[in-house]
Amino acid sequence: MLFGAGTLRAYGTTRSVRDPGLCQARADRGQSPQPIQIVCSASGELDPTAPFFRQPVPRWLLTTAAGAQRWQGTAAFERCWVAPLTQAGGMDWPAIWRSLALQGRSRLAVLGGGQLTAALFGAGLVDELWLTVCPLVLGGSRAATPVDGAGFWASQAPRLQLLSVEQRGQEVFLHYQCTGDRRTGGRCTGDRCPGDRGTGGRSKVIP
Full DSSP string of 100-116: HHHTT--EEEE---HHH
Bridge partners, 79 (sequence order): 60
Q: What is the pLDDT along the chain (207 residues), one digit of tens a residue?
A: 999 999 999 999 999 999 999 999 999 999 999 999 999 999 999 999 999 999 999 999 999 999 999 999 999 999 999 999 999 999 999 999 999 999 988 889 999 899 999 999 999 999 999 999 999 998 888 887 889 888 888 888 999 999 999 999 999 999 999 996 655 554 443 333 333 333 345 565 665
- My answer on whether 129 and 42 are in the same domain is no
The phi-psi region of residue 51 (left if phi > 0; otherwise alpha if psi is between -120 and 50; otherwise beta) is alpha
Give the H or E element holding residue 118: helix 114-122
Give the dihedral of Cα atoms 33, 202, 99, 57; nearest 10 deg: -20
Model pTM?
0.85
Range of the domain at 135: 112-207
Whether residue 101 lies inside any domain: the answer is no
* Domain CATH code at residue 46: 3.40.430.10
Domain count, the chain: 2
Whether residue 65 lies inside any domain: the answer is yes
